[in-house]
Structures are given as structure tokens and as C-alpha cells.
Amino acid sequence: MSALSTSPRFKENAREAMADPELQKALKVVEVNFIARRKEVADKLPEFEALRDSARDIKNHTLAHLDLYLEAYERRVVEQGGHVHYAVNADEACRIALDLCRRLGAKTVTKGKSMIGEEIGINAFLEANGVTPVETDLGEYIIQLRHELPSHIIAPAVHLTKEQVEADFRRVHTHLAADRNMEEPETLLAEARAVLRERFLAADVGITGANFLIAETGSSIIVTNEGNGDLTQTLPKAHIVLASIEKLVPTMEDAAQMLRVLARSATGQEMSVYTTISTGPRRMADLDGPGEYHVIILDNGRSAMLGGQLRDMLRCIRCGACMNHCPVYHAVGGHAYGWVYPGPMGAVLTPSLIGIDKAGNLPNASTFCGRCEEVCPVRIPLPKLMRHWREREFERHLSPATVRAGLGVWAFFARRPRLYGMATRVASRALRWIGGSRGRFRWLPLAGGWTKHRDFPVPQGGTFQSQWKHGKR
């Protein structure tokens, strides 16, 4: 039941996004704020780079022993009175959640923000089966009102302006006075708080994601700023955790290392407001907390990723730093990527989850500038993994004919260095001769894709190889 993908029409999506003035205004904020905040807190912590190494090593160690940590984790959850359910794919995960809701007689379900929830399309599934899901993270609530996918993994509504949110609230919150003043973001937040407070108190089941699962204690961790995740999991009869297999870490100490890099990389905070470690259901004498605690462990192709080059991607802790620093994301926003996960991490993960035949555009939407890898808290070599997908795409003859022809021509010359040298010399001289005194081309045959948007400069001096040969290094 996973969400429908528009990744195959990435190019059209991107063109539309760049022509959308409201989106462009909203995206400017991402570029400025997120980057500055992360840098500020990273600079304040001398150990930050060492912590990134530590976080990478913890994830690598856990992935190499994932079967055993999963066993240990499961044992601890059960000992604490919780239940662990396994789902091979999205449909199975949705089905398990629905069965739990039905058994508990649940009519409404509150939801904390969960990317796994988005990946498996749980809201649409529950709704189609008579259970009403209510997103409670402010950003997720807004996009649920608009029937949209998140455009950012930690700031789902980052593509919207205040005016758009105001219009949505006026459209949906019809029980409130139509002429109320909603100019300030504070009033919008206060309105959402009041509306959702009722929902929290009425919900039968609460569903959250998990940032980490701890094998040592059988716990799940959520990290939020609003407190919605905590109300979601504390107030209803049952708490259901949606988590994928790679969320595991061995111990509390390991979780501490991960938490230090997560908040800083994501929102640029020293620590998020609420970091909550949940272990099992309500205990005997407890006065509050959920009566049942269930964890749905989702695979959805991840166990297969463990065996290949894409294993590195399973270190991802979903902080969003890669998209916050990505010039392509800054230009087109998250929706252009056409599925749940945008930006560089999405360009690597989406083809694994929905297929390279559908998501082939995404790993090609990169300049390979390398900023994503530079900021990744667990040092995932994102450009290398995007290149991996480009190679798979080429092997499977999925890339467009013009690209294949162009690469064929290049390969022909690259295998014949002398011919290559001669051809580039001739071409550069010819271009200089034709380009003449103007110094640039407004139009060139076979280079329309370039010259449509900018001039092509006339080559200066000799070719790189001839300069190299003459010692101008």
C-alpha cells in the first residue's frame, strides 16, 4: 500500500518546482537556516568529527551482527511485556497495524512523525479500512490536510508558506470563527495545538516511529521537539512502534553517541527537546502510559541491501543534513523527487525500495559536489552510491538512448588516447576559430542542453593534455 511515486517524471517535477515562486521562497529558508544552525553547533563541539566516526562505527558493527542484535532486542522486548511483529514488506506492516487496531476496537489513531509510516503508506491503508489516522506533528498535520507527501524528512511542510498553512486551516477548521486573525505563525500553532489536544485525548491507539532501537534494554527511542510523539504514545490504550531493521544499536552508550550527532546534524540543536526512551507497556503500579506495547519491524528490501554495496546506506539515521546541504534539493525541493525520501539519501534509497526502473532519474539528479557526504553524520558515501545506481541503470539499458550514444562516442575516443588528443586539439582550435573575438557561444550543435540556459565559453590556450605535457601544472 506504499505511496504512489512520481519519480519517473522527475524532470517535469523539477521544471514545475523551479517555476513555482511560493516554493522557491520557502526553499530559500532551508538553504540559509539549516546550514548555519548545523555549523554553529558542530563548531561548538570539538569532538563532533570524532563522534561522527564513532556513530559510523557503531552502525557498521551493528549491521555486521544484525541478526544477533535483533534476536537480543526481541528477547528484551518480550521480557518487558511488549510484542514484536515482523513485516517483510509494506503490505504486511499495514496489515499488522490494522489487525491490532481492530482488536483494540480503535476508531481513531494518533500518529507521531514516522518516515516508515510514510514509506508503507499506513494512513491511506487505515483510512480505507475504517480507522481514522491523525498526524500530530505540526508539519505532518499540515501535509495530511493537503493530502501531500512530506517534502523533507524532518520538516515535512518546509515547502509551504505561512499564507498557505493559514488557508488550509481556514478550509478545514470550520468550527472556528471565520474572521479570526491568523497573521502570526504563533496563532497558527496555537490553533493546531488546541485542535490536536482533543484528538490526543480521544485516541484509542498511538503510532510512532523510532529513531533507534536498543538491543540491551529492548527499548525504542523517539526524538521530537513538539512533544506530540510523547502524547501519542502515553495517552492511548496501546502504543505501536513502526521501525525498520536497521534502527538497532547495541547499548544505551551507543544510543548516546548517535543522539549527539543526530540533533546537531538535523536541526542544529545541542539536543532535541524530547528524547524519549520507551520500554514495554505500563507497569503494574503505573498511573499512566499505554496498556500494550507493540513493535512492527519492517524489512522492505533492507536485508537484501545488507549484502551489497548499498549496505552503507543502512547507516542512515534520517537527519536530513544531506538534503539541507544539497544544491539540487535547494533548487527543486522535496516533492520533485516523487516519493517519500528526497534529496541525496532519497536518490540512493528510493531506487532500492521502488526499483531503479522507476527511480533512475534520482541518482542522476546530482552534480556530485560532495557536500552531502561532507556533512553526513554517519559518513555515508552518497555520491559513490549514486554512481553505483547510474552504473546499474546503464547495465540494464535503462538510460536514454542519447546518453548511451554519447557515452559510446566518448568511450571510443577514451580507448584511443592518441586519437583523443588529436580530436580535442582540432576541436578546440575549430571552436576558437569559429567563436572568434566574442569569446563565447550562444548556441552550439549537440550542446543545446547547455546553451539554452547559459553561454558556452570559447576554449582558451591549449588542451589540458598539451598543457600538462608542457609542464604547466
Cα(255)–Cα(58) distance, rounded to whole angstroms? 9
Query: Between residues 277 and 405, which has the closer beta carbon with respect to another protein?
Result: 277
CB of 107 to another protein, least distance (A): 19
Among 24, 60, 129, 275, binds another protein (CB under 8 A): 275
Q: How many CB atoms lie within 10 A of CB 436?
A: 9
CA-based angle 419:423:429, to the nearest 5?
150
**Site for another protein, residues 111 to 150, rule: CB under 8 A:** 136-139, 142
Q: Which of 16, 20, 92, 148 touches another protein by CB under 8 A?
A: 92
Using DSSP's 3-state secondary structure scheme, residue 381 falls into coil
Q: Which of residues 203-222 bind another protein (CB under 8 A)?
A: 215-217, 219
CB of 458 to another protein, least distance (A): 43
Beta strands in 121-217 (DSSP E): 132-135, 205-208, 212-214
Could you say whether residue 279 binds another protein (CB under 8 A)? yes
Return the exposure string of 312-331: e unless at least 16 CB atoms fall within 10 Å of the residue's CB, then b: bbbbbbbbbbbbbbbebbbe
Q: Which of 119, 226, 312, 373 binds another protein (CB under 8 A)?
A: 226
Stretch that binds another protein, among 62-70, 376-384, 426-434, 436-444 (CB under 8 A): 62-70
- Of 40, 183, 253, 374, the one binding another protein (CB under 8 A) is 253
Nearer to another protein by Cβ, of 224 and 463: the residue is 224
* Helical spans, DSSP H, in 45-121: 48-64, 66-79, 90-103, 115-120
Query: Which of 126, 305 has the CB closer to another protein?
Result: 305
Query: 296, 125, 142: which is closest to 209 by C-alpha?
Result: 296
Q: Is 200 in the site for another protein (CB under 8 A)?
A: yes
d(CA 457, CA 207): 56
Closest CA relative to residue 7, chosen from 337, 389, 400: 337
What is the rounded CA–CA span in Å between residue 402 and residue 10?
18
- How far apart (Å, rounded) are the C-alpha atoms in residues 155 and 140? 8
Q: Is 374 in the site for another protein (CB under 8 A)?
A: no
**Site membership for another protein, residue 43 (CB under 8 A):** no
Q: Binding segment for another protein among 114-122, 265-273, 376-384, 441-449 (CB under 8 A)?
A: 265-273
Residue 422: which residues within 8 A CB-CB, separation 6 or more? none
Answer yes or no whether residue 91 interacts with another protein by CB under 8 A: no
Q: Is 386 exposed, middle or buried (0-12, 13-18, 19+ CB in 10 A)?
A: buried
Options 53-61, 395-403, 409-417, 457-465: segment touching another protein (CB under 8 A): 53-61
CB count within 10 Å of CB 449 equals: 8
Kindly state whether residue 429 participates in binding another protein, applying the rule CB under 8 A.
no
Would you say 210 and 242 are in contact if contact means Cβ atoms under 8 Å apart?
A: yes
Strands 212-214 vs 248-249: parallel, antiparallel or unpaired = parallel
303 is a contact residue toward another protein (CB under 8 A): yes
Q: Which is nearer to another protein, 47 or 179 (CB)?
A: 47
Pick one of 14, 17, 87, 131: the residue that binds another protein (CB under 8 A).
Answer: 87
CA nearest 262: which of 274, 244, 278? 274
Q: Residue 331, interface with another protein (CB under 8 A)?
A: no
CB of 81 to another protein, least distance (A): 9
- Report the residue from 7, 144, 272, 350 that binds another protein according to the rule CB under 8 A: 272
What residue type is assigned to position 43 of the chain? D
Q: Per CB under 8 A, does 78 bind another protein? A: no
Closer to another protein by Cβ: residue 252 or 409: 252
420 makes contact with another protein (CB under 8 A): no
Is 193 among the residues that bind another protein (CB under 8 A)? yes
Phi/psi at 360 (5° precision): -60, -30
Judged by CB under 8 A, the chain residues 144 through 173 that form the site for another protein are: 155-158, 160-162, 165
The DSSP bridge pattern shows strands 274-278 and 292-298 to be unpaired
* Contacting residue, 9, 195, 289, 384, with another protein by CB under 8 A: 289
Minimum distance from CB of 436 to another protein (Å)? 49
Kindly state whether residue 68 participates in binding another protein, applying the rule CB under 8 A: yes
| Binding-residue total with another protein (CB under 8 A) | 102
**Binds another protein (CB under 8 A): choice among 267, 350, 366, 463:** 267
